[in-house]
C-alpha cells in the first residue's frame, strides 16, 4: 500500500505525523506523492479559521488529482468538527486526537496493511523510528506531552487536545535512545503545554527534571526546547541551558500581546514587565541565544492605543523572530463572545506592521551574530545548516546531511 502524509500546524502535529509515518512503514506501507498514493493521511490544525480552510482546500486538491485516494483525516480540526470533514470528497475515516496514537492500527485492515507491527516488542507495538531525512526533517521531533489545562480566552486547543497528559520519563528516555540509535543528532522536545510536563504522572516529574536528564545525556546529541509558555520558563531551566552544551541556546516564548490590558483579556497569567524580565534574564546568561515569540493582533477590544503600546514594547525587546497571528474567532471560546471585534482590514494592517517589526528584529539578531563561530547541523541539500542558536545559513562547500560542522557567521 502506498501512502502520503500531509501535516498542518505546530511541532506537536509534526511529531505526531513522524510517529504515524513510522507506524505505517512498520506495517509495510511505502511512501508516495499525494497524487500517487492509495491512502493520504491529513493531520490538521484548527488554531485559526484559515487553518481549517487550508485543510479543506488541500483535501479537495488531493482528490481532484487522485480520485482513487482514500483520505484519512486526523488532528485538531478532526476533533473539533469531524462531521464537517467527513462530508468532504474521498474522506474514508476521521480520527480524533484522542485516537491518533492508534490511527494506523485503526485503519490497517481497511487499507490493506499488515495487522502486525514488525517492530512490536514485549510491551506491544512501538512502530519504527526511521533515520534523519524522513519527511524532509533532519531533527527528530519528540512529543513528550499533549493536552492543556490552561484557559486562554482565545484558544480552542484544550477542547481538541484534552487535559494535559505526559509521557513517563522512562518512556521519554527510551524514545531518545531509539532516535539516537536511528542516527538523529538533534532532538526537539515538544508538547501542547510543554511547561506542564510531569504534573499528571503517577510519579510526578517536571520540565526542569526532563531538561536536566537531557543535559546529562552521554551521547553527542543536541536537545532543543520547543515552544514554552513564559511562566514556565523558570530560572532553573535557563541555568541548565546556560551550563550544558546539550541544550540549545534557543527559546520560543509566546508573548501574545505587549499590553497588560490585552493580556488580561486573553487570560494570560503574566504581565509585559514579567516577560521583559524573563528575556533580560536569558540574555544575561546566554547572550547569543535566539528567542522567538508569538503575537496576536486584532484581539476583541484591541484599540489603537493597545496596539501602539504593543508596538513600542516589541521594538525594545531583543527577540530574534516573531510569528504573527491575526485574531480569528473560534466558536466555543470565551473570546468569540466578546464585544469590540476589530475590523478585518484593520487586523490585516496591524499584522503587516508587526511583521515589519519582526523582520527588523531578525535582521538585528543576525547582524549581532556576525563573526561568531557556532556549531551547526547540516540539513536539506547539504549546503544549508542550522546553528545551535537557530540561525539557518548557507555553506560555502557541500557537506553530508546530518553532519555537525563549525561555521563562522
Q: What are residue 5's phi and psi, to 5 degrees? A: -130, 125
Sheet containing 30-31: order of strands: 30-31, 2-7, 39-44, 70-75, 91-95
Averaged confidence pLDDT in the chain: 93
- 380-397 pLDDT tens trace: 889 999 999 999 999 999
pLDDT at 123: 41
Q: How far apart are CA 409 and CA 390, in angstroms?
A: 12
- 171-206 pLDDT tens trace: 999 999 999 999 999 999 999 999 999 999 998 899
- 259-302 pLDDT tens trace: 999 999 999 999 999 999 999 999 999 999 999 999 999 999 99
pLDDT at 116: 65
Is the predicted pLDDT of residue 126 greater than 80, yes or no? no
pLDDT at 129: 60
pLDDT at 112: 84
Q: What are residue 338's phi and psi, to 5 degrees? A: -75, 150
136: phi > 0 → left, psi -120 to 50 → alpha, else beta; which? Answer: left
Residue with cell 475590523: 343
- Report residue 254 CA to chain centroid gap: 12
Sheet containing 140-146: order of strands: 165-166, 140-146, 186-191, 222-225
Nearest C-alpha neighbor of 326 from the set 291, 301, 292, 352: 352
Average pLDDT over residues 202-224: 95
Is the four-CA dihedral 78, 80, 85, 86 of positive or negative sign? positive
Q: Please name every residue paired with 224 in a beta bridge, in sequence order, or none if there are none.
A: 188
If pLDDT is split at 50, 70 and 90, which confidence band does 219 have?
A: confident
- 295-313 pLDDT tens trace: 999 999 999 999 999 999 9
If pLDDT is split at 50, 70 and 90, which confidence band does 135 have?
A: low
Q: How far apart are CA 71 and CA 307, in angstroms?
A: 42
Amino acid at each position: 500500500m502506498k501512502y502520503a502524509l500531509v501535516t498542518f500546524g505546530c511541532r506537536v502535529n509534526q511529531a505526531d505525523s513522524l510517529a504515524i509515518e513510522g507506524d505505517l512503514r512498520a506495517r509495510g506501507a511505502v511512501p508516495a506523492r499525494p497524487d500517487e498514493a492509495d491512502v493520504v493521511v491529513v493531520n490538521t490544525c484548527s488554531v485559526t479559521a484559515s487553518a481549517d480552510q487550508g485543510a479543506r482546500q488541500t483535501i479537495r486538491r488531493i482528490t481532484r488529482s487522485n480520485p482513487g485516494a482514500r483520505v484519512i483525516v486526523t488532528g485538531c480540526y478532526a476533533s473539533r468538527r469531524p462531521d464537517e470533514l467527513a462530508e468532504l470528497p474521498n474522506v474514508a475515516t476521521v480520527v480524533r486526537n484522542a485516537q491518533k496514537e492508534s490511527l494506523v492500527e485503526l485503519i490497517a485492515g481497511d487499507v490493506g496493511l499488515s495487522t502486525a507491527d514488525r517492530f512490536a516488542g514485549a510491551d506491544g507495538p512501538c512502530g519504527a523510528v526511521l533515520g534523519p531525512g524522513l519527511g524532509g526533517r533532519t531533527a527528530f521531533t519528540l512529543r513528550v506531552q499533549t493536552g492543556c489545562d490552561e484557559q486562554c480566552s482565545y484558544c480552542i486547543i484544550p477542547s481538541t487536545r484534552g487535559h494535559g497528559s505526559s509521557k513517563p520519563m522512562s518512556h521519554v528516555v527510551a524514545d531518545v535512545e531509539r532516535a539516537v540509535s536511528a542516527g538523529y543528532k538533534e532532538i526537539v522536545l515538544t508538547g501542547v503545554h510543554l511547561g506542564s510536563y510531569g504534573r499528571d504522572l503517577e510519579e510526578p516529574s517536571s520540565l526542569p527534571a526532563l531538561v536536566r536528564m537531557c543535559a546529562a545525556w552521554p551521547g553527542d546529541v543536541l536537545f532543543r526546547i520547543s515552544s514554552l509558555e513564559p511562566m514556565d520558563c523558570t530560572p532553573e531551566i535557563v541555568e541548565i541551558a546556560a551550563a550544558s552544551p546539550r541544550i540549545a541556546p534557543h527559546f520560543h516564548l509566546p508573548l501574545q500581546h505587549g499590553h497588560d490590558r490585552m493580556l488580561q483579556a486573553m487570560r494570560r497569567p503574566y504581565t509585559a514587565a514579567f516577560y521583559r524580565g524573563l528575556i533580560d534574564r536569558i540574555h544575561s546568561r546566554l547572550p547569543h541565544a535566539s528567542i522567538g515569540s508569538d503575537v496576536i493582533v486584532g484581539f476583541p477590544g484591541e484599540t489603537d492605543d493597545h496596539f501602539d503600546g504593543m508596538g513600542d514594547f516589541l521594538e525594545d525587546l531583543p527577540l530574534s523572530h516573531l510569528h504573527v497571528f491575526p485574531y480569528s474567532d473560534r466558536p466555543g471560546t470565551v473570546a468569540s463572545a466578546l464585544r469590540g471585534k476589530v475590523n478585518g482590514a484593520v487586523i490585516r494592517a496591524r499584522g503587516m506592521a508587526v511583521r515589519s517589526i519582526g523582520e527588523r528584529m531578525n535582521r538585528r539578531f543576525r547582524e549581532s551574530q556576525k563573526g561568531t563561530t557556532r556549531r551547526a547541523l547540516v540539513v536539506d541539500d547539504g549546503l544549508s545548516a542550522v546553528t545551535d542558536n537557530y540561525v539557518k545559513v548557507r555553506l560555502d562547500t557541500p557537506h553530508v546531511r546530518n553532519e555537525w560542522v563549525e561555521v563562522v557567521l
